[in-house]
Amino acid sequence: MLSEWQRFKIWRDVSCEEFEDSAWQDKNAVIRIAQLEAVVKDFVSPGLLSDIEGGIRRSGMSVRLSPYIISLINWSNAEADRVRRQFIPMASELEDDHPCLVVDSLEETSHSPVPSLVHRYPDKALFLATSVCPVYCQYCTRSYAVGMDTPLVQKEHVTGAKNWAAALDYIRSHREIEDVVVSGGDVSRLKAANINALGTALLDIPHVRRIRFATKALSVQPMKFLTDEDWAGAILALIRRGRSLFKDVCIHTHFNHPREITPLVEQAMRRLHSEGVVVRNQTVLLRGVNDDASTLRSLCKRLGAVIIHPYYVYLCDMVKGTEHFRVALSMAQELEKEVRGATAGFNTPLFIVDTPGGKRDVHSVEFYDRMYGVSYFIAPIVAPGKQFNYFDPLRTLGLGARQVWQNHLRDEVIRGVQIAAYGQVSPRRRRTDTPVQFPVA
């Protein structure tokens, strides 16, 4: 019998040992359309390939695919495939952006006291250790810095080992930082020696109590934990050292669809679990991937089955080029209600809107006008006195509301809907302006 990957002619002679070797996966990563064509041409029409080529030209993220992730895609129905949609763009599925979508929607660059470090919350910091990943996600929040340049986005060069010393000095001199998220990019693309150097430097800082290593490799290249002994060994050694110092070192990962939890993921988790490693998952709520309750419930159940704790489900951030992935806040609120109760509370994620004021529970919205898709949240600890908006995708609004977005500036629309609701700008502020006259939606 042929193995999954041996369905692809180009990999027909690849043995199980090779395919499940992380170095082989890296060596055979697909980054160009011609390489993809060589792999999948027996399954797809030339029309589909040119649709993909058109998608790549308009995307803010470059493409990189492990053979493993290619083998999870059902190529005979690639248009509808929920794994394909996350990593390979198609021009026909893109939508015109909402006017408020920007490149760095969480304003990470302006919350960086030194390059490579985002310090938004009082006691935690986000360390951007690299700008590369094993596979690139089309909806990436950090498309301003992650991956190769694309026609839509020229990347900021904020990450990389040359910035580490300054970022470490910043953490050393800020005793309030107890918690460091080491992310990027993806730590699976760091060399074992660099993981070890960075992790050791962080563990040596007395006030750092918690470190989380963020990697999507567990879902897109799980063999990293099974066959890259140097790398996996470096991570496990840091976790053990953390334990001996009474510090909390764990792994955060990123699964979006139940189909991504494969026997190989289970094998990787059996290894991590036997070493006592805590693994938490962050999902992005994506239209056409996991935006229905039964998929999300099955994702939580399957994660729970391999002892990965579902931690967060994020609304897709308001990042340029991601309109087709976004869903309305109301949809996230409804889905949360249909997930909670299905399994253990600790295997039930919090549904989150991320903002420049930090992460907010979708149900904690202060104000929500569904007609214009305008909501706002407050963040008393991180940014007292400020409001942070989420704007529903244009597709979910009526024609009249879409015209208002086309014809008015962002602040005019926000002011308009608040005045329509309260007769003033907000319950706490005096009316300062006359309302914009909206056509009836």
Q: Which is nearer to ligand SF4, 94 or 374 (CB)?
A: 94
In angstroms, what is the minimal distance from the CB of 206 to ligand PLP? 20
Number of residues that bind ligand SF4 (CB under 6 A): 10
**Quick check: helix, strand or coil at residue 372?**
coil
Tokens of 248: 């909390």
Whether the CB-CB separation of 320 and 102 falls below 8 Å is answered with: yes
CB-based contact 278:252 (threshold 8 Å):
no
In this complex, which beta carbon is closest to ligand SF4, that of residue 133 or of residue 249?
133
Nearest approach, Cβ of residue 133 and ligand SF4 (Å)? 3
Calpha distance 218→226 (Å, rounded): 10
Cis peptide bond upstream of 185, omega within 30: yes
Task: Tell me whether residue 254 or residue 297 sits nearer to ligand SF4 (CB atom).
Answer: 254
> Looking only at residues 89 through 118 of this chain, which bind ligand PLP when binding is defined by CB under 6 A?
118
Sign of CA dihedral 83, 88, 91, 97: positive
Q: Are 47 and 53 in contact (CB under 8 A)?
A: no
3-state class (DSSP) for residue 194? helix
Closer residue to ligand PLP (CB): 227 or 322? 322
Q: Which partner in ligand PLP, ligand SF4, none is near 287 (CB below 5 to 8 A by kind)? A: none
From the list ligand PLP, ligand SF4, none, pick the one residue 120 interacts with, judged by a Cβ distance below 5 to 8 Å according to partner type: ligand PLP
Closest residue to ligand PLP: CB criterion: 126
Cβ closest to ligand PLP, residue 227 vs residue 355 = 355
Cα of 389 vs its chain's centroid, Å: 19
Burial class (CB in 10 A: 0-12, 13-18, 19+), 36: buried
CA pair distance 145, 156, nearest whole angstrom: 5
- Measured between alpha carbons, how far is residue 421 from residues 370, 379, 425, 433 in Å? 11, 22, 9, 14
185 binds, among ligand SF4, ligand PLP, none (CB under 5 to 8 A by kind): ligand SF4
Site for ligand PLP contains 202 (CB under 6 A)? no
Query: Any residues with CB less than 8 A from the CB of 244 and at least 6 apart, and which?
Result: none
Cα–Cα distance between 160 and 115 in angstroms, integer?
A: 9
Q: How far is the CB of 48 from ligand PLP (least distance, A)?
A: 36
For 396, how many CA atoms within 13 A lie in the half-sphere containing its CB?
Answer: 20
Contact flags string 132-161 toward ligand SF4, x per CB under 6 A: -x--xx--x-x---x---------------
**Residue 33 interacting with ligand PLP (CB under 6 A):** no
Q: How far is the CB of 217 from ligand SF4 (least distance, A)?
A: 9
Residue 219 vs 375, nearer CB to ligand SF4: 219
CB 268 within 8 A of CB 228: no
String marking each residue 118-157 x if it binds ligand PLP according to CB under 6 A: x-xx--x-x-------------------------------
What minimum distance in Å lies between the beta carbon of 207 and ligand SF4? 27
Buried b (16+ CB within 10 A) or exposed e, 133-166: bbbbbbbbbbbbbbbeebeebebbebbbeebbee
Residue from 20, 97, 108, 186 touching ligand SF4 (CB under 6 A): that is: 186
> How far is Cα 38 from Cα 23, in angstroms, rounded to an integer?
20
How many binding residues for ligand PLP (CB under 6 A)? Answer: 7
Considering the rule CB under 6 A, would residue 108 count as an interface residue with ligand SF4?
no
Using the rule CB under 6 A, is 216 a contact of ligand SF4?
yes
**Which residues 341-380 are close enough to bind ligand PLP by CB under 6 A?**
359
Where does this chain bind ligand PLP (CB under 6 A)? 118, 120-121, 124, 126, 181, 359
Contact positions vs ligand SF4 (CB under 6 A): 133, 136-137, 140, 142, 146, 184-186, 216
